[in-house]
Structure 1
């Protein structure tokens, strides 16, 4: 006797009930799968992007906004800070190294970041082709930028004012692509990197053309903070501590004695994940409720079907089926329902995340991988199977008690 085939025939005989239970289970699993994929990948990528950065110093405002805009490049900067004040901080005995950033422009939604070569070293960037910038208006493209925009070494483009696309172009100067980086799976993949002097010169479009050409031909700063005889500003300063004591003293020093603010990436991201955790927990709770409802639906479907199948079960017993085989038949139906729900739920979850990613051309969502499978997904599937088994216990016990003589006599 082929129990699997027989169980399947009983299920397809009730297509609407079977389909509803499978869909409810699949939706619950899909919600959990999407949340697991996003939570685990986002936390991992954000920790990787912040690795090596102990402190971020910028204009006063929201500390979280400062971290998001300077480390992850997914928010607007809080403002600019004075270059000389940043230079004084970089000379502090508690500071091991500082990396300046100058933000404010984009090209088709990808941010143009003015910095120095220490930024490439921080993320261990490697070149696919070309080389780093050596003079003003040369840029290095992240792998994702080059792929999405179809740019390569030697190409030129015109930057636009503002962090997001749609603003006016800086028509006075063109950026020249000097190199393209290998994909690293971090924030550098979606950035356009250049020197800070390039960002400054881009915003000096009122200058006389002769003076501009003279400035462009001058040397740029490849390491450390840029030099300028005139008062200049940068957006933020990424700081690395010299010793553990700096974690205690330096943020307090910056926040109390300067016009700047200091924010710790690890502290701010812990707060963010803690806040997001409440919403994620609520959504997971909703998903588990859906799975529970689907389990209840499986129980009701199996139990009600037994009323119409008692004569069939009695016939099976009469032709030689054992009580154990009847119990196994009912459990097989619950198993098939949960198996279909699990497969469809996993496919829906991964497909939905792929759809979300496809709708975001820039930003941290683009770096997520929708088709990787996590070990935690197996636990979710196991939970679904437990629900299916529990929903089948009472109907299976009822099938076990089926009396051949009683049912055939009724017939």
Structure 2
């Protein structure tokens, strides 16, 4: 009969004690696996959501991390706003002149190229205006280019698609400038669909409601990005809401747009360029090798700051999230050590009841080393059963929560979704259990045959 089989028989013979000892180890391992998995899910969610097709986020001077959280994840609050002319600096003079003719403003703006236009060959700049809410969700004023030019997905190569409806238009004769597109979570949680009217509140979820509503013309398919929890409105309609126009300076030079000459009494007049502000600008320059040069050029300006989303998120993970998760992981590893001590105590306490059995084995010819290995094999069995059961239990929990995880983070997880650190966990647990088995194994090794047979 092999020593391992004898150890297994001993494990089964002390069923209740073995079960409770193994259970404590199972829970410890399961907790460690969950922490590792949560860290992996958080890391993947942040990194993939920072890969959105653009390579720079431009906003007012201040914290680049706050700028990234606000513009990419719709978290935090805007630092300030930038004048619309800062957005125009990304375009050549022809496009700038067209903006002056469309919106009205100083004709001199269209007589030169933008400061950053030379970096934007085959690139784009998309403005964002934030400040309103729809329930708990952020309202994002932007242009139709947001859904036509940006991509999402792990490699930023998947276009936005619509579960229902279409993208909003710059100007629609039927609905004017007041159209919007809802992210999938917004539509589901607020119970809205195409054809309904969304009315934002100003500055806060509980703020004053705007009288003007936006007709919902599209609902996005789930993307697994923060865009699922945002309501996107036509930037022109956003500007026309009460309280969104910037006061015009007394010395501003304004030429009214061409549309003002043909506008009817009920037609809304678009805000002129001096009245416009943007919260941030999403920028992708055609030649990515020139991105650092563009970023440095923007930082040299008086008003603007530029941040690389992936770089800022890596800093966040390294400086804040990473240390917190490491501290939590250390605590859970201590739990495994405590469970290993439980293995030691359980086996050691059983030695008093097993000294006669050991003495009989020795009398029948078993060597000291064989008895020692039987005890160590018992520790090994507890480690294997507890470690594997803990891993399975943790991943069953992850599998059960996978719909919620995917809905909130966009990360698809399954039963076999695992962190590379988990590969080292089972050997660690086995090592701790074998160390815990040394003390009772040594006690078995020193068992006196004569004394225990005569007892």
Bin for the TM-score computed over the shorter chain: 0.7 to 0.9
State the distance in 1 between where 2:387 and 2:130 align.
Answer: 48
Q: Does 1:104 pair with 2:131?
A: yes
- In the alignment, structure 2 segments of 5+ residues that lack a partner are 92-113, 152-158, 246-262
Structural mapping, 1:170-181, within 5 Å? 170=210, 172-181=211-220
SS of the residue 1:103 aligns to: strand
Q: TM-score, normalised by structure 1?
A: 0.80
CA shift in 2, pair 1:168/1:28, >3 Å: farther
Q: Distance in 1 between matches of 2:64 and 2:218?
A: 33
**1:148 is the counterpart of 2:189:** yes
**Matches of 1:165 and 1:319 in 2, distance apart?**
80
- Matched residues in 1 for 2:17 and 2:308: separation? 61
Structure 1 segments unaligned to the other structure (5+ residues): 219-226
With over 3 angstroms needed to count, the CA separation of the structure-2 counterparts of 1:340 and 1:331, relative to structure 1, is same
Q: 1:368 to 1:106 in 2, by over 3 A?
A: farther
Q: Which moved more, 1:33-42 or 1:392-401?
A: 392-401
**1:252-401 paired onto structure 2 within 5 Å:** 252-276=296-320, 277-315=322-360, 324=370, 327-328=373-374, 331-336=377-382, 339-340=385-386, 343-344=389-390, 347=393, 367=410, 373-376=417-420, 377-396=422-441, 398-399=443-444
Which residue in 2 is equivalent to 1:45? 45
Q: CA-to-partner distance for each residue in 1:105-149, whole Å, 9 max, x for gaps?
A: 121211111122332231221111211112422221222222222
Match of 1:187 in 2: 226
Aligned residue in 2 for 1:66: 67
Q: Structure 2-normalised TM-score?
A: 0.73
CA contact (8 A) 1:351 1:370 kept: no
Bigger-Rg structure (1/2): 2
> Matched residues in 2 for 1:165 and 1:137: separation?
20
Q: Secondary structure at the match of 1:93?
A: helix
1:126 aligns with 2:130: no
Measured after TM superposition, the shift of residue 338 of structure 1 is: 5.9
Question: Where in structure 2 are the equivalents of 1:164-175 lying within 5 Å?
Answer: 165-170=205-210, 172-175=211-214
- SS at 2:90's partner residue? helix
State whether residues 37 and 419 of structure 2, in contact with CA within 8 Å, keep that contact through their aligned partners in structure 1.
no
Deviation at 1:161, TM superposition (A): 2.0
Distance 1:315 1:166 in 2: 79
> Is 2:18–2:382's contact at 8 Å kept on the other side of the alignment?
no
- The residue that corresponds to 1:56 in the other structure is 57
Distance 1:56 1:13 in 2: 59
Q: CA–CA distance in 1 between the matches of 2:7 and 2:453?
A: 22
| SS, match of residue 287 in structure 1 | helix
2:280 paired residue number: 236
User: Aligned partners of 1:339 and 1:38: how far apart in 2?
Assistant: 23
Q: What is the rounded CA distance, in whole Å, between the counterparts of 2:343 and 2:389 in structure 1?
A: 17
Give, in angstroms, the shift of residue 305 of structure 1: 1.9
Higher mean Cα deviation, 76-85 or 306-315?
306-315
Residues 352-391 of structure 1: CA distance to partner in whole angstroms, max 9, x if unpaired?
9989x97x9xx99654667653143343234223322332
Is the CA contact 1:331–1:393 (under 8 Å) kept in the aligned structure 2? no
1:84 corresponding residue in structure 2? 85
Distance 1:256 1:122, change over 3 A: same
Provide Cα deviations, 1:32-91, integer angstroms capped at 9, x if missing partner. Answer: 334322332222222222222221111122111001100121221111111112111344
Measured in 1, the distance between the counterparts of 2:365 and 2:189 equals: 66
Aligned mates of 2:400, 2:142 — CA distance in 1: 33
Q: CA deviation at 1:193?
A: 1.6
Using the alignment, how far apart are the partners of 2:265 and 2:138 within structure 1? 23
Residues of 2 paired with 1:204 and 1:212: CA distance? 21
- Asked if the contact 2:186–2:230 (Cα under 8 Å) also holds between the matched residues in 1, the reply is yes
State yes or no: 1:160 paired with 2:201.
yes
1:98 to 1:327, Cα distance in 2 relative to 1, 3 A: same
TM alignment of 1:213-224, pairs within 5 A: 214-215=267-268
The number of equivalent residue pairs is 388
Deviation, structure 1 residue 405? 5.0
Partner of 1:221: none
**1:332 & 1:112 partners in 2: Cα distance?**
61
2:108 aligns with: none
Q: 2:294 aligns with which of 237, 250, 253?
A: 250
Shifted more, 343-352 versus 251-260: the winner is: 343-352
